[in-house]
A and B are shown apart, each in its own frame.
Chain A
């Protein structure tokens, strides 16, 4: 009767080790976030004096109050919401239509277009700053949110298109053909039958593009000079002054900046999980 007891023990160890490893990974991944939170609630006077501690002896909301009431941060924040939201929206619309075309139609030059779109993904972005600046400046699009939205959309469309294409590939062509026979035009079939089925894919794409735009610094820094058009990653830099870095406020701003991204993912996570798996089994 010794063997039946052995298996549960072995299983316990196996699952124990399993969860331990997952926990270790999660701790490793989330630790910087924890530190962000910790520093944001640490009063300035003990930030450097207490040494390395997991939690400060005193906590304060002062950093948050300052950031929300006395800095330009709320303004940067709104700018970021506008830029990221619009970028995600426009990119998704373009990527959905392009991805559908790539998935369903055979047309001349398809390979060339796909290759060109892939090539755009190969350039180091730094190389493109000067030419893009030269293009946008005469159009009056530097130092403006519109300029940023256009640039972000342009950069995200290729990848988002491939993403959307793989989702459309996963939906049988028969469905829109059935709809077309039932009385839809191709566009109606796309809108009424295919789009609802691609919601997970659209959510995944939205999430991807939104985060990319939300955290973009390079172009935001180079194309925008005025405070009125700055996004929050640029704004974070304003906490770095010539003589020091205000870590407490910077971290508080960082925590606040996480909120919309988290909220956004919370909103789409139901579709996202489906979407990611749907993409995974595809092919």
Chain B
């Protein structure tokens, strides 16, 4: 196992810059998830670590050795592909032993390693089958097995679960996590699915437009997103955003929405009166309240989505759609009005121009934008 250090790594195709100077330190044994929308450069970064893409400038080091000029085969890493990339003309056992045979490992050792891994992944009965004769979930397991057998310095995962159905995906998510705990291998996992990122990562690297937007533990990222992108990308249902201007008097502050509605917010030393700001509030941080019980604002009910455990209420506030998540089953009629209150301690303020979060005065500084 090894650490991975990425220093100012850039990638361009001709005049098009895909990655703009990535810096990232991955600790030995850490499970890192690169998350972002398609085209953000996360897969390119992973492929650069694997050696499948050249590095335009900067350095990538695995276990302290700069690997920029090493071929993939000399980097001692294993990768699980989205398409699984199993060799169709080889059996499951041959697929898993391929890397070991190339390294001229002794036959007994190879079969012992395969038996061991097949046992871990429940592949014993499938060893003599061809990939064609396997289900999606089984193929996924074989792909994992092929990676594990090698005991590499690091595992790279390129959206390995996105071809599975929802149930299987959930199951494999747990299994990969358990496997990681068991093997303790440094892992870099690419996904566009923020739920995978939240549930699996030791640390999340949120990427957008070839730039690392934020690095942090899942809860750091969820609770203190560095900017509007991270705030909107992480969390489901997504965070609500309302634009307006900031006003502070003494220790109390408020923001005035575009239609004149006033919402109390935590004072921040980083915003000045009259500054254009964006309020970010997660659906679970907005409450439906009785008239007059707490400072509240009036919104129109558009849609109610009961989900059994919870209910998602869609309302319009200041001309913007707002989603409210509640564990209660509110008795509301569509097109009626409702009083809603923002949980001031949990809402976020962002500078509308730079889109950066404006932390409140009371918050200790911990998670930093990269």
The answer to whether A174 touches B99 (Cβ under 8 A) is: no
Cα distance A252–B146 in the bound complex, in angstroms: 58
Chain A neighbourhood of B325, CB < 8 A: none
A residues 7-50 with Cβ under 8 Å of B?
none
Kindly state whether residue A268 has any CB partner on chain B within 8 Å: no
* Interface footprint category on A: 10 to 19
Given contacts A174-B81, A184-B73, contact A179 B87 (CB under 8 A): yes
Determine if A177 is an interface residue (Cβ-Cβ < 8 Å). yes
Q: Please, which residues of chain B bring their CB within 8 A of the CB of A183?
A: 73, 98-99, 102-103
Nearest residue, chain A, Cβ from B84: A174
Q: By the criterion of a CB under 8 Å from any partner CB, how many residues of chain B are at the interface? A: 24
B89 to chain A minimum Cβ distance, whole angstroms, is: 5
A177–B87 contact, CB under 8 A? no
In the bound complex, do residue A181 and residue B83 qualify as a contact, i.e. CB atoms below 8 Å apart? no
Contact partner, A181, options B72, B86, B87, B103, Cβ 8 Å: B72
Q: How far is the CB of B116 from chain A (nearest CB, A)?
A: 18
B71 interfacial by beta-carbon distance below 8 Å = yes
In whole angstroms, what is the CA distance A253 to B112 when docked?
62
Tell me the residues in window 223-243 of chain A with beta carbons closer than 8 Å to chain B beta carbons: none
A178 contacts which chain B residues (CB < 8 A)?
Answer: 79, 81, 85-87, 146
A180 at the interface (CB under 8 A from B): yes
Interface string of A195-222 (1 = CB under 8 A from B): 0110000000000000000000000000
- In whole Å, how far is A214's beta carbon from the nearest beta carbon of chain B? 30
- Minimum CB–CB distance from B319 to chain A (whole Å) comes to 46
- B88 and A181 form a contact (CB under 8 A): no
Contact between B89 and A196, CB atoms less than 8 A apart:
yes
* Chain A residue at minimum C-beta to C-beta distance from B158: A174
Q: A175 to chain B: which residues have CB within 8 Å?
A: 85, 87
Q: Is B334 an interface residue when CB atoms closer than 8 A count as contact?
A: no
Please, how many angstroms separate the alpha-carbon atoms of A197 and B150 in the complex?
Answer: 24
In the complex, the chain A residue whose C-beta lies closest to that of B50 is A181
Q: Is residue B60 within 8 Å, beta carbon to beta carbon, of the partner chain?
A: no
Asked whether, in the complex, the Cβ of A185 is within 8 Å of the Cβ of B89, the reply is no
Instruction: Give the contacting residue for A174; candidates B71, B73, B85; CB below 8 A.
Output: B85
Query: Restricting to B43-75, which residues have a CB under 8 Å from any CB of A?
Result: 50-52, 71-73, 75
Contact A182 B89 (CB under 8 A): no
Question: Would you call B52 and A177 a contact (CB within 8 A)?
Answer: yes
Contact B81 A177 (CB under 8 A): yes
Instruction: List A contacts of B144 (CB < 8 A).
Output: none
Q: Could you say which residues of chain A place their CB within 8 Å of the CB of B102?
A: 182-184
- Chain B residues with Cβ below 8 Å from A197 are 88-89
| Complex interface: chain A residues within 8 A of B78 (CB) | 181
Most buried by A among B79, B146, B150: B79
In the bound complex, residues from chain A placing their C-beta under 8 Å from that of B150 are: 182
Q: How far is the CB of B328 from chain A (nearest CB, A)?
A: 48
Are A180 and B72 neighbours in the complex by a CB distance under 8 Å?
Answer: yes
Question: What CA separation (Å) do A180 and B47 show in the bound complex?
Answer: 12
B101 to chain A, nearest CB (A): 9
Kindly provide the distance from the CB of A208 to the nearest chain B CB, expressed in whole angstroms. Answer: 23
B206 proximal to A (CB < 8 A): no
Q: Is A4 engaged at the interface, CB distance under 8 Å to the other chain?
A: no
- B98 and A179 within 8 A (CB): yes
Q: How far is the CA of A280 from the CA of B315 in the complex (A)?
A: 52
What is the CA–CA distance of A197 and B78 in the complex, to the nearest angstrom? Answer: 23
What are some 18 contacts across the A-B interface (CB < 8 A)? A172-B83, A172-B85, A177-B52, A178-B79, A178-B81, A178-B87, A179-B87, A180-B51, A180-B73, A181-B50, A181-B77, A181-B79, A182-B150, A183-B73, A183-B98, A196-B89, A197-B88, A197-B89
Query: With contacts A177-B52, A179-B98, A180-B72 known, what are 14 further pairs, Cβ within 8 A?
Result: A172-B83, A174-B82, A177-B79, A177-B85, A178-B79, A178-B81, A179-B87, A181-B72, A182-B98, A182-B102, A183-B73, A183-B99, A183-B102, A184-B102
